[in-house]
Amino acid sequence: MNTDIKIYIAGHKGMVGSAIWRSLEAKGYQNLIGRSSAELDLRNYQDVVTFLNSEKPDVVIDAAARVGGILANNNYPYQFIMENLQIQNNLMDSALKSGIEKFIFLGSSCIYPKLALQPLKEEYLLTDTLEPTNEWYAIAKIAGIKVCEAIRKQFSKDYVSLMPTNLYGTHDNFDLNTSHVLPAMIRKFHEAKLNNHQSVTLWGTGTPMREFLFVDDMAEAVVFALENRLPDSLYNVGTGVDLTIKDLAEIIQKIVGYKGDIIWDTTKPDGTPRKLMDVSKMHALGWQHQVKFEEGIKKTYDWFLENIDNIKKVTI
């Protein structure tokens, strides 16, 4: 891949988009473009058309989305389905019409059925019902996968969908109202440590199993898809290893240095019992994750500490 190609990263200021930007720069890609949401509203079709026709990028990487955990998905179902559909549809349709040959679409492991066999294979898509607590986001992402597949089939363009497992890392969202489980735990344990709280209450039973991928590894997977024409339209991206939420909490508690107790609020939902990705397709092509789990947690907590003054304050 010529490092002079022009690459537009939608969502370049988010956790995933900024990691992709850093990874591309480190590999010598200098012709990168991004726009903040204030500069370009991806929900506005005409604005997206005008932007792509003006900038004429060679590649579009769609790392833009409305994201959040169980609480946010439950409270804002309309925004989660509608805004994600608007963002991805506007980008894909405009990219196709402006002649862009390569498009990388990022989704989530929540696209798979709630009770699908484990580990989750790409062919399990649309074989059963979704987890109700995040189906709004999942349905939007499934639609994006199918649009990419349709463009690939009908127009023979290199449009590919990468479905990461649960991502975490630097530049994550630590707002307790909208964050995912891992950064929320870091925030809760840290503030409990500062305030000498005797206990921390976490949602659910602690028994569900989850897989986590450090965001820099996800960025490397995107670069891999950029530099190679992948033979299929849909690929899982993860570690292939999971752990219980209880184990996750204890690892984070140790790294943060919180000495109190953990109380599990079993009146709150657990979500999907297990979500482990089958990553054999990406492994067969030559990509594998590099960052070990505790190393990634330490890097994330260090970043949190360095940027705590700029992180939205939420009282717990």
pLDDT in tens, 241-277: 999 999 999 999 999 999 999 999 999 988 778 889 9
300 assigned binding-site residue: no
Q: Active-site residue numbers?
A: 137
CB atoms within 10 A of CB 105: 26
Is residue 181 assigned to a domain?
A: yes
Is residue 65 assigned to a domain?
A: yes
Is residue 112 assigned to a domain?
A: yes
pLDDT value of position 67: 78
256: exposed, middle or buried (C-beta count within 10 Å: 0-12, 13-18, 19+)?
Answer: buried
274 assigned binding-site residue: no
The CATH number that applies at residue 201 is 3.40.50.720
The percentage of residues in the chain with a pLDDT greater than 70, rounded to a whole number, is 98
Average model confidence (pLDDT) for the chain? 94
The Cα 109–Cα 167 span in angstroms is 10
Is residue 66 assigned to a domain?
A: yes
11 assigned binding-site residue: yes
pLDDT value of position 235: 98
Give residue 87's domain range.
Answer: 7-310
What are the residues whose beta carbons fall under 8 Å from the beta carbon of 99, sequence distance 6 or more? none
DSSP code, position 313: P
**Does residue 316 register a pLDDT over 70?**
no
- Which SS3 state, helix, strand or coil, does residue 186 take? helix
Alpha helices in the chain (DSSP H): 15-26, 45-55, 70-75, 77-97, 135-155, 181-194, 215-227, 245-256, 280-285, 293-306
String of DSSP letters for 256-285? HT--SEEEEETTS---SSEE-B--HHHHHH
DSSP code, position 127: S
Is residue 316 assigned to a domain?
A: no
Is residue 315 assigned to a domain?
A: no
Number of domains in the chain: 1
pLDDT, average across residues 209-229: 97
108 assigned binding-site residue: yes
- Which SS3 state, helix, strand or coil, does residue 12 take? coil
Is residue 2 assigned to a domain?
A: no
Q: Are 266 and 205 in contact (CB under 8 A)?
A: yes
Whether this prediction's pTM lies above 0.85 is answered by yes
String of DSSP letters for 128-153? SPPPGGGHHHHHHHHHHHHHHHHHHH
Is residue 78 assigned to a domain?
A: yes
Q: List the one residue out of 207, 203, 177, 184 whose CA is nearest residue 71.
A: 177
